[in-house]
Amino acid sequence: MNNNITRGDFGRAAPLKRKKRTSLFIILIVIIAITMVIFASPLFYVKEIKVSGISRLTPEYVKSASGIKVGEHLVNVHFSEVETVLSKTTYISSPKIIYHFPNKIEISIVEKMPVVYYSFADGYVGISTDGYVTDIIQKMTKPLPVAKGITLSSYSIGKKPHIGIAKSGQIECLTKVADELYHIGISSEISYIDVSRISNIILKSKNGLTIKCGNTEDLNYKLSILKEVIPKADHQGIVDISSPGQATYEMT
């Protein structure tokens, strides 16, 4: 075997190295050019921010909380970081940032707003549908029902409250009833929700009606009936909607 390298071999290797360096230089120039186009093109700047999943919050509130601004370059929008920031916001849960080509951003959230208040010596604790504390206030500013039959031992905004002496499922029962009342549109008509016994939930309307709901089975249907009954029934009566498919009214 001849392992000797001749002068001719060096002569052929030099053009190959120059050709390789030239190719790498061209690739680098192309990458730089593409990068410049991305940064300079208006296609890659946020043109529109859409907010979905809201019914009580305003789009402006969510946009402001996200920190994303129209005109900002998409390269500077770090989706996971924005989602982390939003998830720590008092009234927002399950945030998701969705990119729509070429320059639109959608912020999808689940609202974390109070649907019921818990009364304590110095004020009220707002509780959301998913059982988180949304606010602690001295005076109620929203016409929402107050919780009865549970005792909160500690609470702080953005966290789930610690329940004192309570039966299993009470807080879930309370928030489910409160959420259904809100969506049906009669939260403002209800004074309190008593979940002392989750098999026999009691509501009190602001016009004085006592409402027996039973458990949470067919709750939406029961409360839909209640919505029709409240304006018509005598304020001293008892409405029993505990049995699915029927409602009774008793004057007192």
* 215 phi, psi to nearest 5 deg: -95, -165
Q: Both tokens of residue 7?
A: 């002068």
Confidence of residue 53 (pLDDT cuts 50, 70, 90): very high
Mean pLDDT, the chain, rounded, equals 87
Domain ranges (residues) in the chain: 42-111, 114-250
Would you list the DSSP string of 169-208?
THHHHHHHHHHHHHHHT-GGGEEEEE-SSTTSEEEEETTS
Dihedral sign from CA coordinates of 13, 14, 15, 17: positive
- Write down the pLDDT at residue 8: 53
Give strand pairing partners of 229: none
Confidence of residue 143 (pLDDT cuts 50, 70, 90): very high
CATH class of the 114-250 domain in this structure = alpha beta
Q: Both tokens of residue 128?
A: 């959301």
SS3 220: helix
- CA separation for the pair 221, 88 (Å, rounded): 35
Q: Does domain 42-111 have CATH number 3.40.50.720?
A: no
**What does DSSP assign to residue 74?**
G
SS3 135: strand
pLDDT tens-place string over residues 3-45: 555 555 545 556 666 667 778 888 888 888 777 666 666 778 9
- CA separation for the pair 66, 68 (Å, rounded): 5
